[in-house]
Amino acid sequence: MIRYYTAGESHGDSLIGILEGMVAGVKIDRNRILEELRLRRLPFGRSKRMSIEKEEFEIISGVRDEFTTGAPIALRILNEDVKELKGFVPRPSHADLAGCMKYGFKNIHLIAERASARETSMRVALGTICKIFLSNFGIDFVSHTVRIGDVQSEKIYDFDFIKERRLASPIFCVDKENEGLMMKKIEEAESSGDTIGGETEVIVKGVPPGIGSHVHYDRRLDFKIGGAILSIPGVKGIEIGKILSLGSVNNDPIFIKNGKIKRRSNNAGGIEGGISNGEEIILRLKIKPPPTLRRNFPSIDLRSGKPSSAPQLRGDTCIVPSVGIVAENVLALEIANLFLEKFGGDNLEETKINWMNYIKKIKWG
Ligand SMILES: Cc1cc2nc3c(=O)[nH]c(=O)nc-3n(C[C@H](O)[C@H](O)[C@H](O)COP(=O)(O)O)c2cc1C
């Protein structure tokens, strides 16, 4: 079973993460982790602060000579911009005000520092270790931008096409007709001191049937995925597969081809009754515009109760592509956990034997 913790603040010394439950014998490529951290940081629409956020990290424990040992893996990501901030005007749509009320503060930074999405860097780093583990079983992840503001891509692309092309786009959008329009929307929002939301699609391929369970609500794959995805700051909705209005159109027909069980469509998005069904897991995430604006917006000073405009901190104009990267890795943490619950093992070889026996038995693939 995989468990993980993160600690650290946006302008604190560093972020700390612990991943417990990873099997021994998984080769950890530091560059893979660096690459995922870089992808989270870089997309078009993010703020200049991103050039300050660094990807320097240390593996403190749980990995020896590049291979996991089965012991907890501890990571540390260093912050460059270390400072103590003070401010008393909460930013609407952030945790500032509700957090100050709950914890008894007036200085919003005592809340904002931890609520900041900087924390998601550590979830990306820990998630990448799970991605590397799952790649040994042919499981892979991709995300791409499908909407910015009111510019929507209606086209359907397959996993390999997205994987091949999305990095050529500054906003991870493979729809060339709409990519420029989406970027224009981000520029327009930026130039008026505003921000903009949208949607990203995340696809996981290679997950065998049988991850998660129907037997109890909190063992359902959708329960685990839903909670994890909605815990990403700024994500306000998630859709699994497609929901069409009539059952006869919505259901995915089952048939046999060359002795293997197949489905003609994948409206279920890879999950039926809380269990992975062997099709690609397809999720659409609805992401709100980042709340911090570079224009006046009503708030109050918590010391006096008098009206005051929310602080105009430098921030991201659009976070949609970055959220896709965070979501891939957060999903990897959840899927690795359920994968190990199903197949067990203390080292990679054991897990592989268990997985192989099962795959042969169910004639999947
Ligand atoms: C990668 C990433 C970067 C973000 N950057 C910003 C930002 O620069 N400015 C901002 O106001 N919100 C940003 N957000 C969103 C806020 O963190 C989020 O809206 C806020 O913490 C409130 O949480 P909630 O939207 O989930 O309610 C970012 C989120 C993510 C995942």
Taking the model in full, what pTM does it have? 0.97
The pLDDT value given to residue 51: 63
**According to the model, what pLDDT value does residue 363 have?**
81
Q: Which residues pair with 148 in a beta bridge?
A: 151, 198
Asked whether the beta carbons of 339 and 23 are under 8 A apart, the reply is: no
285 lines ligand 1 (CB under 6 A): no
Amino acid at site 265: S
User: What number does the ligand 1 atom closest to the CA of 40 have?
Assistant: 1
Amino acid 52: pLDDT: 63
pLDDT for residue 202: 98
Which parts of the chain register pLDDT below 50?
A: none
Superfamily of domain 3-362: Chorismate synthase AroC (3.60.150.10)
Instruction: Tell me the CA distances in angstroms from 10 to 87, 212, 310, 333, one per residue in order.
Output: 15, 34, 19, 22
The dihedral over CA atoms of 38, 41, 45, 49, expressed in degrees to the nearest 10, equals -130
Whose C-alpha lies nearest to ligand 1, atom 2?
Answer: 117
What is the distance, to the nearest Å, from the Cα of residue 79 to the centroid of all Cα atoms in its chain? 21
Asked if residue 27 lies in contact with residue 67, where contact means CB atoms within 8 angstroms, the answer is yes
Give 308-340 pLDDT, tens digit per residue. Answer: 999 987 799 999 999 999 999 999 999 999 999
- Cα 200–chain centre separation: 10
What is the rounded CA–CA span in Å between residue 113 and residue 94?
Answer: 11
Task: Give, for ligand 1, the residue of 118, 145, 316 to mutate: max count of ligand atoms closer than 8 Å to Cβ.
Answer: 316
Domain boundaries, the chain: 3-362
Residue 252 CB-density burial (10 A; 0-12 exposed, 13-18 middle, 19+ buried): middle
Residue 309 burial (10 A CB sphere; 0-12, 13-18, 19+): middle
In total, the chain counts a number of residues equal to 365
Q: Residue 215's pLDDT is what?
A: 98
For ligand 1, mutation pick of 52, 312, 319 (most atoms within 8 Å of CB): 319
Centre of ligand 1 from the C-alpha of residue 354, in Å? 40
Structure tokens that stand for 134 in this block: 């799952």
Question: What is the rounded CA–CA span in Å between residue 173 and residue 162?
Answer: 8
Helix intervals (H) in the chain:
30-41, 96-103, 109-115, 119-135, 159-165, 176-191, 221-230, 247-250, 320-343, 348-362
